[in-house]
Homo-oligomer: A and B are copies of this chain.
Amino acid sequence: MAELLNQSCEACKIGAPTLSNEEINNLMSEITDWNLITEPINQLKKVFNFNDYQSGVTFLNSVANMADAEDHHPEITLEWGKVTILWWSHKIQGLHKNDFICASKTDSLYLEN
C-alpha cells in the first residue's frame, strides 16, 4: 500500500489501455478490502462506516479534496453512518492505475479520520 500511496495520478486520456486482469490482480493485493466490481464495467468499491453523521461528512470532504487535487473524481454516496466510494476511470470506462492510487489514498484518509 505504501508504494501506491506515494504516487500521484497521471493524465488518463481517452483510448489509454485499461489494466489487464493480471495487473488488476497484482494491484488488488496492494489495497485493503476493496471490492472489484466487474459489471457493467470494472470499478473499485468500498463502504466506510461511521458512528455518526458528521464523521461521514468530514471523511467525504477529505476524499473530495484529495480527488480534486488528483483531478480524478470518484462517485461518493453519503448516507447516515456510511460513505460508499466507487473509483474508476471515466475516459477509459474501466480501471487505470490511478484508481488504485486513489483507493490507497482513500484508505489513508479514513485511518486519519
Are B68 and A79 neighbours in the complex by a CB distance under 8 Å?
no
State A65–B75 Cα separation when bound (angstroms): 20
- Knowing A75-B77, A76-B77, A80-B73, say if A61 contacts B68 (CB, 8 Å): no
**What residues on B are CB-neighbors of A77 within 8 Å?**
75-78
Give the interface size bracket for A toward B. 10 to 19
Contacting residues of chain A (22-71) with chain B, CB-CB under 8 angstroms: 53-54, 57, 60-61, 64, 67-68
**What residues on B are CB-neighbors of A79 within 8 Å?**
73, 75-76
State A57–B76 Cα separation when bound (angstroms): 11
State A54–B61 Cα separation when bound (angstroms): 10
State A76–B78 Cα separation when bound (angstroms): 5
**Can you pick out 20 interface pairs between chain A and chain B where the beta carbons lie within 8 Å of each other?**
A53-B67, A53-B68, A53-B73, A54-B68, A57-B61, A57-B64, A60-B60, A60-B78, A64-B78, A73-B79, A73-B80, A75-B77, A75-B78, A75-B79, A76-B77, A76-B78, A76-B79, A77-B77, A77-B78, A78-B78
